[in-house]
Amino acid sequence: MSRAWAFDQSVPPRGYCWWYVDALSDDGRHGITLIAFIGTVFSPWYALARRGGGGDPENHCCLNVALYGNPRRWAMTDRRRDALRRDADHLEIGPSSLAWDGETLTIRIEETTAPIPSRLSGTVRLRPQALSERRFQLDADGRHQWQPIAARSRVEVAFTSPALRWSGPAYFDTNAGSAPLEQDFIRWDWCRAPMEEATAVLYNAERRDGTSQSLALRVGRNGVVEDFEPPPRVDLPRTRWLIPRPTRSETGAARVVRSLEDTPFYSRSEIRTHLLGQEATAVHESLSLDRFRSPAMYAMLPFKVPRPLR
């Protein structure tokens, strides 16, 4: 794996680095999202530390796990620096870990769900079809970067608690930054749509400096990332929390198949859209950083993002 996304890369004060995996099962019944954070950007505890003049990212790390379908589960425990161990190919956060052996990313999960505690234990193995090395700057000053590492992958999901086993198409990327997201962005939306010959990835950001960015990318079987003209904007129905869900579609039409995550500042959805000349199923995200940085949100988040006393 290229050093561009190695697990031992430096993370600056007040900054962050995360590695993101999502997948849907072949039968359409299940989904999973895994995010390993150094500098847990959506942690109220990290936000409080930064407001107090601190902001050590290694003192706020976690493995966020979300299972969709039946059963549904959620875990996102913000852990201290003594829970973190890492080198180029291994990342341990508390009892959970990620390991890269040159061909497979193995994620071992030992977490406790929130807000109702229960055991979450399993293994996810991701096998990329190809790796991509192209990296993108998301803001004008170069404080935030994104890299689709393996937009075309397969996963095998095996949990013992709850009992669950499936496989399906998957996606793997990384984001890194030297400043809080809410400092430089108002909102963004993203989606990825796997198809037989390529995967389409869309990334749209509205920045606080008044500018915006719209990326439309085709990732081929060989991992080569190519730009294409962004299709017309389509506004999907707002979530129950009234979060906008903009996306893009070549036909000017798209629809929500199901809402996977519906929170006051963030949504994740399964949608049907039209990209690269084909109708496709996509995983879609929409994020409001104005909502996230409100005092009311910081009061609510500890119930979903606990932090152990030790």
- What values do phi and psi take at 7, rounded to 5? -70, -15
Are the C-beta atoms of residues 153 and 171 closer than 8 Å to each other? Answer: yes
Angstrom distance (rounded) from CA 105 to CA 39: 21
pLDDT digits (tens, 9 = 90+) for 133-175: 999 999 999 999 999 999 999 999 999 999 999 999 999 999 9
Is the preceding omega at residue 128 within 30 degrees of 0, hence cis? no
Angstrom distance (rounded) from CA 26 to CA 125: 15
- What values do phi and psi take at 160, rounded to 5? -95, -25
pLDDT at 139 (0 to 100): 95
- What values do phi and psi take at 26, rounded to 5? -60, -35
Angstrom distance (rounded) from CA 80 to CA 82: 6
If pLDDT is split at 50, 70 and 90, which confidence band does 1 have? Answer: very low
- pLDDT over threshold 60, residue 4: no
| Domain boundaries of the chain, sorted by first residue | 9-179, 180-301
pTM: 0.96
CB half-sphere exposure, 249, CA atoms < 13 A: 22
pLDDT at 310 (0 to 100): 67
pLDDT at 21 (0 to 100): 98
pLDDT digits (tens, 9 = 90+) for 33-50: 999 999 999 999 999 999
pLDDT digits (tens, 9 = 90+) for 233-262: 999 999 999 999 999 999 999 999 999 999
* Better-scored residue on pLDDT, 52 or 81: 81
Angstrom distance (rounded) from CA 187 to CA 289: 5
CATH H-level superfamily of 9-179: AttH-like domain (2.40.370.10)
Is the preceding omega at residue 115 within 30 degrees of 0, hence cis? yes
Mean pLDDT of the 124-129 span = 97
User: How distant is the alpha carbon of residue 177 from its chain centre?
Assistant: 14
- What values do phi and psi take at 46, rounded to 5? -70, -40
If pLDDT is split at 50, 70 and 90, which confidence band does 52 have? Answer: confident
pLDDT digits (tens, 9 = 90+) for 288-306: 999 998 888 888 888 999 9
- pLDDT over threshold 80, residue 5: no
User: How distant is the alpha carbon of residue 180 from its chain centre?
Assistant: 16
pLDDT at 298 (0 to 100): 80
Q: How many Cβ atoms sit within 10 Å of the Cβ of residue 305?
A: 23
Pairing of strands 73-75, 61-68: antiparallel
Are the C-beta atoms of residues 92 and 11 closer than 8 Å to each other? Answer: no
Instruction: Dump the DSSP string for 211-263.
Output: -EEEEEEEEETT--EEE-PPPPEEEEPP-TT---EEEE-TTS--EEEEEEEE-
pLDDT at 309 (0 to 100): 78
Cα maximum dimension of the chain? 53
Angstrom distance (rounded) from CA 197 to CA 218: 10
The rounded percent of the chain whose pLDDT value lies above 90 is: 92
